Amino acid sequence: SNAAERVLASHDPGSGIEALTATLVGLVGEEDDLSDELIVSAAMEGEMTFVVHALAARSGIRADVALDELLSGSERRAMATLRTAGVSRTVAASLLAGVGDLIGIPDPGRAIDAFDRLTDAEVGDARAWLTADPAYRRAVAALGRTNGKRSV
């Protein structure tokens, strides 16, 4: 209908919550104020969009990918995302205690065990995988491999 077309034509993606939050996180990051404490405080206030964008900014992972990893329900994937962002064990524990159940992680103890078991090499592999081009990741998934390596 004509009304729907007008509404769609007037939509400004740059004024949406995602874009505004990304801008805010960028500005805070420019001032080197994207601290662990700020991320935990934002999580406790329910500002998960801010948390995701902050983790993404700190890790180099796209925000939508970081969100998918945090909401995957997998302790290992969620903890790898936190580790790629340089989050300390104490901060990870605070986040899990406050919002773990909201992101699909009902057992913070198991998740912290996963956090502790991740090696630096595994965190590096996670960062490489999560920052890879989405088309590449889809192609690897279509091939049925999860490590992105050829079977030479």
Instruction: Give tens-digit pLDDT for 67-87.
Output: 999 999 999 999 999 999 999
Helix pair angle (75-84, 48-59), 10° resolution: 60
In this prediction, residue 151 carries a pLDDT of 43
Size (the chain), residues: 152
- Backbone φ, ψ for residue 71 (5° rounding): -95, 10
Distance of CA 140 to the CA centre of its chain: 21
Q: Which residue carries 């889809």 as its tokens?
A: 138
Question: Whole-angstrom Cα distance, residue 103 to residue 99?
Answer: 6
Instruction: Give tens-digit pLDDT for 82-130.
Output: 999 999 999 999 999 999 988 999 999 999 999 999 999 999 999 999 9
pLDDT band at 14 (very low <50, low <70, confident <90, very high): low
pTM of the model: 0.80
Separation in Å, CA 100 to CA 19, 60, 115: 25, 23, 13
